[in-house]
Amino acid sequence: MKSLIVGGKGQLGRGLVATAPEGTEIVSHDVDTLDITDRAAVEAMVAQVAPDLLLNAAAYTAVDKAESDEDAALAVNGTAVGLLANAARSVGAKFVHVSTDFVFDGTAGAPYRPDATPNPLSAYGRTKLAGEALAGADALIVRTAWVYGPSGGNFVRTMLRLMGERPEVRVVADQIGTPTYAPGLAAALWTMAGKGASGIHHYTDAGAASWYDFAVAIQEEALGAGLLGTQVPVVPIATADFPTPARRPSYSVLDKASSFQTLGGPTPHWRHNLRVMIKEIRENG
């Protein structure tokens, strides 16, 4: 099977390369080698590679910046998705696209099902919802949340740095979601695509947490692994105490039942995968 990955240098893209099934021929591109907002460039690349599977791991993820730059966010998160999907269809390739919990407004009292009505609060969420529509009904669309991985900038690495530099860290405690380990998400995408899944599905690690809960767990695991030498106070704060240009959903836990059915069982708990990540950092930096 030949697979084309776009966004290949990001956390998820690297995870897709690392977890590709044996025998998969991979062609990976990122913004430095392919402008996915350029129709001609996308069509030429897809025609040249002629993949069986096209996985889109590229996204405009600067959530707050998108509030003042929505056109740029829409170009990547919306318009480009349509270009990639159409190019995939032209060569008979399956298209896999990754979306976000930010398509929801956070007012639900239970995990969001894939068929729940979206109501994004931010420009980022609006542009990602537009991308879902442009991917098409024949695509595999997987919404996820709070992604982090061994490489690149993410919440885990930011917390480790701040805990090593500051006498305390202050973390929002009234936004609830689920951390998701990028290599685990990547492996799930390969499996779901390989089983012919299509439509909208949800995937995160199991469980739920606030950003505060996540930060506390990061410090505990890092202290146990010797990545931090001193414990510092982790102070819970309200969203109102840390205003940002973009509004975030206060509750964005995703119902993953359809994905579990396709994958043959539940995902690992987020705390387990955090431990895996901390071990990776300890061993490889």
As annotated, the active-site residues are 124
| Distances from the Cα of 15 to the Cα of 4, 57, 127, angstroms | 14, 10, 24
Q: In the structure encoding, which two tokens stand for residue 30, read together?
A: 């990122």
Neighbours of 200 (CB within 10 A): 21
N-terminal to C-terminal alpha carbon distance within the chain: 33
| Distances from the Cα of 285 to the Cα of 156, 157, 279, 282, angstroms | 13, 11, 9, 6
One-letter amino acid at 250 equals S
71's CB contacts (< 8 A; 6+ apart) are none
In contact, 104 and 252? CB cutoff 8 Å: yes
Residues in the chain: 285
Q: Tokens 């805990």 correspond to what residue? A: 163
Q: Where are the beta strands (DSSP E) in 71-189?
A: 94-100, 140-144, 147-148, 169-172, 176-177, 180-181
Q: In the structure encoding, which two tokens stand for residue 174, read together?
A: 């009234």
Residues 99, 198: Cα–Cα separation, whole Å: 14
One-letter amino acid at 231 equals Q
* Structural element, H or E, at residue 27: strand 25-29
